[in-house]
Amino acid sequence: MYGCETWTLTLKEENKLLVAERRILGKILGPVKREDGSFRLRKNVEIEDLVAAPNIIGETKAHRLRWFGHVLRMEEDRGVKRAYLGRQVGRRPVGRPRYRWGDAVGVDLSALHADNWREMAQDRDDWRILVSEAKTHFGSLRH
């Protein structure tokens, strides 16, 4: 998950990460033994209930929001803040615009119904609560 704060995952990439995570957890937890002595693989819901922790998508989105709060609290002359606030100059290429990091953060914040996120980011305790809510909101199969 190194550098996951900067990822902009598409739905296809999210599904690939979830499949890989479930495959690894399934191997770690092992199969379920039936009453007749045979074995079966665990279902995704069973794996989620046994692990009882946010999945990789919840962790990734929480890391991204934590970094976003840090960027918002930065001084205006910092390079990261200038890159976030900067606008592209020149002509835009033909076609659909690329999915940007700021767009991904905006989608995450709207899914959490965080309307006053600019004020929340200035208060570290409030922002920490929002990040933990993101971990649980995005970190389950049933959201």
Q: Looking at residue 141, what is its pLDDT? A: 62
22 shares a domain with 71: no
pLDDT, one tens digit per residue, over 36-66 is 989 999 998 888 888 888 899 999 999 999 9
Q: Taking a C-beta distance cutoff of 8 angstroms, is the pair 136, 52 a contact?
A: no
Is residue 4 situated within a structural domain?
Answer: no
Provide the whole-model pTM. 0.84
Is residue 2 situated within a structural domain?
Answer: no
Alpha carbons within 13 angstroms on the beta-carbon side of residue 134 total 29
Range of the domain at 78: 55-86+100-143
61 shares a domain with 43: no
73 shares a domain with 104: yes
Read off the pLDDT band of 142 (50, 70, 90): low
pLDDT, one tens digit per residue, over 109-122 is 999 999 999 999 99
The count of structural domains within the chain is 2
For residue 60, which of 9, 4, 128, 16 has the smallest C-alpha distance? 4
Is residue 92 situated within a structural domain?
Answer: no
Q: Looking at residue 49, what is its pLDDT? A: 87
64 shares a domain with 26: no
142 shares a domain with 72: yes
